[in-house]
Amino acid sequence: MKRCRGAFMILVVSLSLAVYIPMSCEAQEEQVKMTLEEVIPEETSIFEDASGSQYQESEPATALQDVGEEVKVPERTERQMDALRIDAVARVGNTYYKTFDEAFFALPSGGTMYVLKDCIAGHNVTTKSFTIYPEGQNVTVTASPSLEWEPGGIIAVPNDSDRNITGTWTLSGNEGYTLTIDGNRKCSSGILTSLCRTTINLKSGVRLRNGVANGIWNSLGTTNVYEDVSIYNNLHAGIASQGTINMYGGEIYGNGNNGVRGKTVNVAGGLVHHNGSAGVQTQTVDDNTAITVTGGSIYSNASDGVAAYAANGVCTASISGGKIYSNNAAGVRSSASFGTLEISGNANIFHNATGIFNMSAATMSGGIVHSNITEKNGGGIYNSGTLILSGGEIFSNSGTAGGGIYNAGILTLNGTAITNNSARAGSAVYQNGTMNVSGAAWIEENNDVYLPEAGNVITVTGPLTSEKKVALITPSVYTLGRTCVRVGHNEEKGSAVYQKFNLNPKAFYLLRPGDYQSGGANTADTDIVISRAYMIHYEGNYDDDRIRVPKDEKKYWYEATKISGEIPHFGSIGFKGWGRKAEDKEAVYQPGDTVSAAYNEEMTFYALWKTEIKVIYVDNNADSGTAKSEYVTLKECDENNGYEIRKNKNYTEFSRKGYSFAGWADNERDAGTGTVKFPENKKNIVIFDELCQIADEQQKDTVNRPGIPEVKMYSVWNGIPEIKANSVQEFYEGTEVTREMLLSNMKAFDEEDGDITGNIRIICIKYAGRKHTDGAKQEGEIAFWKEDMPADEKLDTWFLQMDKNDSPVTHLITYAVTDSAGTENVLEWPVKVRYNEFPVIEAADRYFTLEEARAGNITEAEIVERALESGRIKVSDQEDDILYPGSILKKVKLVNFKPEEFLEFNKPGYVVLTCSVQDNMGPGGAGKETLIQFTVYILKDGEMVKPEGAKYVRFINRENYEKNADRETKNLSEEEKENLNRNGGLHVDSMWYQNPEYKALLLDLWEEERTADKVWDFSREDVRKVKEYINIHGIGNSREENALSGFLRQFGSFERRMQYVGEGQSYKKNG
């Protein structure tokens, strides 16, 4: 092979990257067969030629035409390559460079440059596209300290370049290693500067810092920032552009002015914080700017979080996501007066000095603005443009005026929730402009809308669809008639929506619709104005707990109102109407009446009651009497515990033949049927309420009722019930006459009730005089029963207390009967009691042999029953023989008969026996008793005894004797004699009156003043005791030797009470 002088190069072309390999002439002699991979190994070295010159891309080269051609490489070339790798700071392909600037200069357009270690960079001017990566470690490229104030940064486009030139600059980390570009406070504009339409991509691992101005100045191009990119500590903006800035991630912070400033800014992710001015801002020198935030966080910047500006006032701003918080001024500021601002989606704006400052046409359909605090106005939003709120939330913001919103522009609310904000004035909204509400507009009730001037109102521009109150309104001055809300759609009036608004409470003020008010208020029908309520009080006007009046009501300023339609209640007392004074007599208003709108004052209405009633007493077919009436007042009834219904007696004095006055009925129907409500025989007290009830019932069908209620009391007439007796009843002395026996003779009938015999009562018995008690005749007595004679009570028939001469005695019994109407009739009817004769007994002496006595044949049956059968004993009773034939025979008995006495006889002798008979006319059937003594003789066989005849003794005292002693009997009829014979004296024709000898005998005895040694007076109880004594001791001394002496000792202190029952009769004892 031909030897060559000088150097040559082999050009290997691969993937559009040219690598130049210089070779010496000597290398040509040792050719080596190499593939493309062998020529360009993975680690390619750069070297200098013999003259020490580095080959550049523009130097001539010979291309290797065929891959696989053999090339000889001298051994020293490899050693030189190793040495150069150690000193290189960057490489472009497999060419290594000792300086950043040389490598960047060598970088072809569209090429890739690897920075191998920290290095210094000068001012590199280019229009080409490129990519820069770190390699093998984290590297920092620092602007050279020797740089003066250059118009561009480390990498810049020439100032005189065509502005339409495009290119793409990509800086990125590599395999986890970072690429840091440090401006070292050198160069103006930006560390990276482009005046053309350059696209700058900052990818993961890139750091831009310490620029003397901006981190990036990309005038007309697009800057894209991705995750894990940091731009910080630049003296002006992190990124500045009059083109487009897209931030998908990364972090821009600590810059002296804005974090990001561009004509069009899109923030979808990343962090922008702690910058010296606004975090993200559009250019103030450009027209038609735009800013969009869909994600990321913008926080803790020295002024605004997001600021929208434009030279021509047209900036389109949209915040639909991300967080904007803790910025020292506004979270979002839209200062482009002809621009728009849209808050939507998940935008979260909080903890800023003001959430949103708007001078543009803004809308909020979503997102939240909360917890922003400022000492100025507008904690959540300050609006001096137009603001439409249709969604999202504004809450927990605070400001001096307008905690939620300070409105100095046009505010339209139709859906955003405004809650829990606070301010000195207008916790929800400080309304200093135009405020329109419609749709679902709603402000929490404890958040108010403040109206600073009289002209500041809320205008309703459409239907309000929320069920909640729209707003609580606080006017600066509470003045009657001041408009707070105006309805401005579909010719609606204030009354259609006024209940959707509340007035912040102060004294008595409230909101009312203008169309409710009269002309005197000078308010519009479409307005809702400040009004006030005047209380309407209702007074019962009488001291009574039963009174129920309507609850207090309200009358509003210049509004007519109706008095409550509720009728006051006072039991049954009628209501007359309402008076304006307690003492009014006539009503001024009735329930439901209208009170004039001109009355703007507190009013009290006093209930007027119908406290007077006229009571009219009606005769109802009376034959005589006087109809009367009187007025009854509630006060009188209260004082007297009611009104006493008048009695007919001593008042009207109505009477009707054949009828009794039963009482009063309170309706004609009852009066006609005889139904009594207020009986004449009772005290009838009614309360005033009851009178009112009666009046109301009586007049319920009356069209024109009298002013004073009237009560008519109708006379009720009752046919007098009739009592009749079948006959005059007669009973014998001693008979037990019961109440039923006395009633059995009576009948009662009533015209209305029919047979009412069962209602007859005995209320009185007037006993005749002459009843014998304690030896003297008593005056007549009266037995009275208030209701009825008790069932166990009996008629006193004077047993053993009637003088035969007084018989029959007549007692008067008062019978009473009451009908169902309470009418009573009485009948006094006699009952007679006749003297009961003592029974008569005759007994002959009896004779028995000694053998019969000792054999026990002398028994009571033998002595009594055989004697009755044989006629040896004869008994009769005048009354019993008629009433109870034969019954007297069963009443005969021996008194203290001792049959054993006859068994003891051993020689002839006798025993005196006493035989008794008692009739049925007495208590328990034990009536008057007659005793007779006879002798039972005990004889030897064959012995005869002639008995003496019977002797009859009549006892009489001087008092009774003298009753008929001087009667002249010749001219007396038999009836007259019979009457005299009953007076207790002897018969008027008695021989003791008619025979002078007999008469003288008696008179002589009395004149000698002979008296008995002992006188006894026996009562029935005494007789019982005497009988008991005789049963024990026997008659006389027949059983005991001293029996009579003992009798005198026991009964000697008793006074005498003896009765003579007639001449020629046996001695009778009483009891």
pLDDT digits (tens, 9 = 90+) for 683-714: 999 999 999 999 999 988 888 888 899 999 99
Residue from 188, 219, 181 nearest 202 by CA: 181
- pLDDT at residue 1066, rounded to an integer: 36
CA 114-117-123 angle, to 5 degrees, is: 75
At 329, is the secondary structure helix, strand, or coil?
A: coil
How far, in Å, CA of 598 to CA of 517, rounded? Answer: 10
710-719, strands of its sheet edge to edge = 628-633, 612-618, 710-719, 659-665, 678-679
**Lowest-confidence range among 881-895, 931-945, 1047-1061?**
1047-1061
Is residue 589's pLDDT more than 90? yes
**Lowest-confidence range among 61-70, 75-84, 423-432, 596-605?**
61-70
DSSP assignment of 894-922 equals EES--THHHHT--S-EEEEEEEEEE-S-S
- pLDDT at residue 944, rounded to an integer: 60
Say which residue, 13 or 271, is predicted with more confidence.
Answer: 271
913, β-bridge pairs:
934
- pLDDT at residue 314, rounded to an integer: 98
Average pLDDT over residues 229-236: 97
Q: How confident is the model at residue 8 (pLDDT cuts 50, 70, 90)?
A: very low
Say which residue, 613 or 1008, is predicted with more confidence.
Answer: 613
Residue from 703, 715, 920, 729 nearest 808 by CA: 729
- pLDDT at residue 820, rounded to an integer: 80
Cis peptide before 475 (omega within 30 of 0): no
At 790, is the secondary structure helix, strand, or coil?
A: coil
Is residue 29's pLDDT more than 60? no
For residue range 432-455, list pLDDT tens digits in order.
999 999 999 999 999 999 999 988
Q: Under a CB-based contact definition with an 8 Å cutoff, are residues 535 and 554 in contact?
A: yes
How far, in Å, CA of 527 to CA of 495, rounded? Answer: 9
Average pLDDT over residues 23-43: 33
Is 1041 buried (19+), middle (13-18) or exposed (0-12) by CB count in 10 A? exposed
- pLDDT at residue 1053, rounded to an integer: 52
- Please tell me what DSSP assigns to residue 25: G
For residue range 760-792, list pLDDT tens digits in order.
999 999 999 988 887 788 888 999 999 999 999
Average pLDDT over residues 63-74: 36
How far, in Å, CA of 565 to CA of 543, rounded? Answer: 23
DSSP assignment of 280-333 equals EEE-SSSSSEEEEE-SSEEE--SS-SEEE--TTS-EEEEE-SSEEE--SSEEEE
Is residue 1055's pLDDT more than 90? no
Residue 783 tokens, joined = 């037995």
Residue from 402, 482, 406, 411 nearest 447 by CA: 402
Q: How confident is the model at residue 77 (pLDDT cuts 50, 70, 90)?
A: low
Residue 1060 tokens, joined = 């003579």
- pLDDT at residue 78, rounded to an integer: 58
- pLDDT at residue 812, rounded to an integer: 96
**Lowest-confidence range among 48-52, 241-245, 653-657, 740-744?**
48-52
Buried b (16+ CB within 10 A) or exposed e, 88-109: bbbbbbbbbbebbbbbbebbbe
- The number of beta carbons lying within 10 Å of the beta carbon of residue 716 is 28
Judged by phi (left if over 0) then psi (alpha if -120 to 50, else beta), residue 52 lies in left
Say which residue, 878 or 130, is predicted with more confidence.
Answer: 130
- pLDDT at residue 1042, rounded to an integer: 64
Is residue 1038's pLDDT more than 70? no
- The number of beta carbons lying within 10 Å of the beta carbon of residue 1036 is 12
- pLDDT at residue 62, rounded to an integer: 31
At 80, is the secondary structure helix, strand, or coil?
A: helix
Q: How confident is the model at residue 30 (pLDDT cuts 50, 70, 90)?
A: very low
CA 375-378-379 angle, to 5 degrees, is: 65
Strand ranges in 671-745 using DSSP code E only, listed in sequence order: 678-679, 685-686, 710-719, 722-725, 729-732, 737-738
Average pLDDT over residues 340-359: 98
Say which residue, 774 or 247, is predicted with more confidence.
Answer: 247
Is 1002 buried (19+), middle (13-18) or exposed (0-12) by CB count in 10 A? middle
pTM of the model: 0.58
- Please tell me what DSSP assigns to residue 863: I
How far, in Å, CA of 37 to CA of 784, rounded? Answer: 158
> Residue 235 half-sphere exposure, CB side, CA atoms within 13 Å?
12
Share the mean pLDDT of the chain.
85
Is residue 85's pLDDT more than 70? no
Residue 689 tokens, joined = 């309420």
